[in-house]
Structure 1
Amino acid sequence: MLSRRDRDPAQPRARGRSLRTRLVVFMSAVLVLVCGTTAAATALVQQQLLLRDLDEQVTEAAERSQQVVDRYPDGPRRRGAPKVRGETAGTVAARFDGDGDVVTATVIADDGYPRFLSAAQRAAVAEVTADGKPHTRTLPGLGDYRLTVLTGGKVPVLVGLPMADMQRMTRALMAVEAVIAAVGLTLAGTVCAVVVRRKLRPLGRVAATAAEAARVPLDRGEVTRLRRVPEADTDPGTEAGQVGLALNRLIEHVEKSLVERQRTEERIRRFLADASHELRTPLASITGYAQLMAGGTERITPELAWQRITAQSARMTGLVDDLLLLARLDEGRPLSMTEVNVATLVAESVWDARAAGGERSWRVFLRLDASVTVTGDQARLQQVLANLLGNARAHTPAGTEITVTAEVTDTHCVVRVHDDGPGVPDALLPVVFERFTRADASRSRAGDRKDGAGLGLAIAAAITRAHGGRLDVRSAPGDTEFTVTLPRARPTSPEPATHHREP
């Protein structure tokens, strides 16, 4: 485990704090906008409701005043302000003559007695439109009023009520709403900050895991198990859990790639070591015989030295050719594809192997029609069978029975090479198709490719894969079988003939 100082994910932490701050600020701004909009809408609605109530009071007071004036048009108060029942302080009343001029206008003072309006106040009253609807006017020295003029009676009258109470109530409501909104925003912001911090905590742990994995030297060293995101932070139902789960999958892929890299490096090192060893032996022989020839020693004749140099050169050339073939197959270079007759391919390969090792018992079973073909490079496919048969001949004693069987399925052609020899050691089975894999020297029979480099089966497997097929093996003492499976070029007849040949 790394210490806090070693981890020091300063950049991820700074980014985490920035993200938390941005989220909190954003959510707070949203809350402020929502609360502000709600408060403004509420205040506007409340103001309209209060204004409507005030308009109703003004209209009722004007109707009552109109009734009094209509009842006593020539009474003693003819030139005074119209009498309004339930008059309150601040109530303004006026009446007009036939020409629409203000005859008289008064306001109820705080002591309950009416006082006449000043000229400026009368002028403001006279500007009210006589349409029976409430209007807002500012009367000098009195403030804002809601006024209405009724003209349906004998004498037009005007009544107005002050808006001060309504305005005070509106301001009080807005103040209360502002306080409530401020308290609510503070609580909501605190809750949001706590929730955001808790929700982003798993993301911080994921970032710390990613930062730790980024510091591991993946290009060198031994493969080590990388730290994973805790299972509690990989819940696919959350966004942070999805990120943690994806990071764990990425780390798994990285570990598999590291393991494969290490295996590849080990194979390359082993390949170079084996290739160097195989090439060093013939080179040493060539150098030794050349020195003997140059020294003019009588221990060996020039003809014999030349023969040995030629043999070792041929061996080295064959090894280089095999390595070059494997390199070309690894690069995926195209092969020379033609229609190859399977029966002919198997028969010729077995006859060639029998000629090289006649002390074994060779049997061939062709469970297919003579016209069955595969699409491939005939020379390379011949090399596959030659390597398999040569391997069976080299690692089995005299008298071993080697059986080659060819048969077809609906989509593939299968060739099996079976022998009843001692079999492949268990330790070699997993790597039998790898390069430079060889059995112990005691298992190679004298005269049967005892100097082989261990590339035959690797070449056979590579050629088979290049043809879209596969090469498999199963082995036990007395029962070893290599199976070559290749795609068919075209289907055969429903009832294939069965041929049995013994070379």
Structure 2
Amino acid sequence: MSERTLARLSRWPLRRQLVAGIVMLLVVATVVIGVVTVAVQRHTVLDRVDDQLETVLEAQRSAVEDEAQEIPRMRARSVVVIEADGVEEVAELTDESGVVSPLSDAERHQLLDGAGREPYAETVQLSDHGSYRVTSAALDGGGQVVVGQSLSEVDQTIRDMTLSFTVVGLLGVTLAALGGRWIIRLGLRPLERLARTASQVSQTPLAEGTVSMPSRVQDQDTSPGTEVGQVGAALNRMLDHVEDAIGRRQSSEDQLRRFIADAGHELRTPLAAISAHAQLMERRRTEMPEELGHSSQRIRSESQRMGLLVEDLLLLARLDSGVPLAEEPVELARILVDVSADAQLTAPGHQWHIDLPEGAADLTVRGDAARLHQVVSNLVNNAKDHTPEGTSVILRLRADRADAVEVTVEDDGPGIPEELQPRIFDRFVRGDGARSRGDAEAGQGNTGLGMAICAAIVHAHRGTIRCESRPGRTRFVIRLPAAPHSAGPAASARG
């Protein structure tokens, strides 16, 4: 078989492969046995015909050599040729009805040239009369006798045997295939149960905090005496280890979330106090040395950055703990318009565009408007902070069929490094040359949580977010479930 055929067969289910293998082996075995049996049977029948020919040949030769004897009459479906000195030449064929007819010269020569020499016989195709088994013997006085027997009965017997063997073989292969399929189905049931258990485990939302495996392999499939039982027992042990590891991880994550939440709440008060004192110092900046005034400005800037980091950490902690967000109709077009307007004021060096479809006001989702505004704002700030002036940024809204709404933020900047893209939504991931979402000159650094917050908020709204980036084109696509009766035409108006 070719590699392509083998590759195609390897993709078949195991049950089909086993049944096909059994059927192929049975077909090969049946064909081999049939061919050998027919060949042996034909050889046996021909030996019997040769023995009969030898008896007839001896009788004809004796009658020719003993002139007192009458030449015996040939049996049906036979031929005889006699060439001898002092004896009238004979070249006759006796058909199945016993009617004797002369042979033509061409037929006589065929017999004389193709006949075997006693005690051997040869098969000769005699013009329109079919195959004959022919042998010959030399006469003492010169000349020879040729006798032959038609093989029509032999050929018919072989054909009947071949047909019978074929029918019986096909019936046997069919019954064996059906029986084998049934046996294989019984034998593979434990594997099917193992696969069903593994499938149920694979659908367990481990990333959402599930710490217990809902399924185990049944006891009947964990017997150490069978290969399937060994696999089932090993799978159960593996699930036990996974459940234990996940439980430990979940416990550690819960402790970390509590620590972040507690630390965030505890840091809020001193950070607010530090920021207030820094503002008080700045009001009296004219009364202080220049270096001290610069330090007060840096203190206020860093306290604000720390405050933003604390707020981000608290938000992620709340989202991770599953705190439900607000559930209200949200008009996404208004969010895009507001964010675009803010961006035009804060980054006039960029080219800002908004692409809304007709009837954009009807494209609504159910969720937390403030958090969805934060997602779009984070994506816009990301495009603003990581692309040079003159970059074109497009905010686009469209209906994705009748059950979803898509928001796209696209720019034609230098793109995101390829090695960073798989981790773009992880926490504390920063791109090269990252700047803050605030004033870069003020020294506010990027916390590396903006994209992680976007992903967490979108997932909390039962949506998805993805990034597609290459030099000259970066797209962030948010897909959210549409609110009931939310729809929009395909036609759009560019703003």
Q: TM-score range by the shorter chain?
A: 0.3 to 0.5
Q: Please, what TM-score do these two structures have when normalized by structure 2? A: 0.47
Q: Please, what TM-score do these two structures have when normalized by structure 1? A: 0.47
